[in-house]
Amino acid sequence: MRRVVVLAGHNVLLRRRDPAHFVSYLIMPMVLMLIFKGMLGDPAQVVTGLLVMFSVLSMADVATATLTERSWHTWDRLRATRARLSEIMIGKALPVFAVLLVQQAVLLVYGVLAVGMRPAGVIWPLALAVTVWSFALLCAGTAIAGVVRGQGELSTLCNIVALSVSALGGALVPYALMPEWARAVAPISPGYWATTMLQAAVRGDIPGTLGPAALLTGLVSPRGRSPAGVWAGAGAALPPSDREPFRLVRAPRFGGVECLRNRPEAR
């Protein structure tokens, strides 16, 4: 547990030093919500659609949490510590998972206050929908980090995926207004199920929330494996960088919190 706290604290510092993506993915959907509100007239469609689109864009932040270790050639050094793979992955995942939850929670509150969305019924289906979608993005972002070779490829892939998933999923325009061919292929998009799940949660439709939630959980759990197992397996599959040992040392300037140091320069 202590090692998880140390690794999580280290990754929190990295997120705090580079909050640009988090801020931009909050401000941009807020502005677009006000514009789309007058065009579509359905606050739930506007809020949930843009939430899905910009949360998919946030996969870049999820992948960056692991990709930086490869860029700095410190991934194998991290694996050489006493921390188990599960502890490493949990320590790296907790901060970015919290960022995804905060992003979606802020946009939902903004949707209620500024856009006029009115959730019906109990609030726990909406909390469940946000948690399931955030974990699906966490699994996908970690897997992407294992295949891209740099930030350029990561940004390109996440932008293309975000637009495709959002457009085919009915996040930008209502499903009924999409072309016939798009409606036919929409169910293959995770964005379709995320949008359906969130809109059902806003309506207070518990069965309509649980169905897509189970399906999204199954998408990140192929061949019967648990989502956590798939997510940890994605971290284990990351390509090696170097094999030099890595040390955990105390850094007084961070309030006595142990954090990772001796990071070599990128080669």
- Under the banding of pLDDT at 50, 70 and 90, the label for residue 246 is very low
- Under the banding of pLDDT at 50, 70 and 90, the label for residue 105 is very high
Q: Which one-letter amino acid corresponds to residue 20?
A: A
- Under the banding of pLDDT at 50, 70 and 90, the label for residue 110 is very high
Q: Which two tokens stand for residue 104?
A: 């979606």
Q: Is the pLDDT of residue 73 over 70?
A: no
pLDDT digits (tens, 9 = 90+) for 162-178: 888 888 877 777 888 88
Q: Is the pLDDT of residue 107 over 90?
A: yes
pTM score, whole prediction: 0.74
Q: What's the mean pLDDT in 126-130?
A: 93
- Write down the pLDDT at residue 77: 66
* CA 35 to mean position of chain CA atoms: 25
**Bridge partners (DSSP) listed for residue 259:** 249
Q: What's the mean pLDDT in 228-234?
A: 46
Average pLDDT over all residues of the chain: 75
- Under the banding of pLDDT at 50, 70 and 90, the label for residue 249 is very low
- Under the banding of pLDDT at 50, 70 and 90, the label for residue 7 is low
Answer whether 26's CB lies under 8 Å from 111's CB.
no
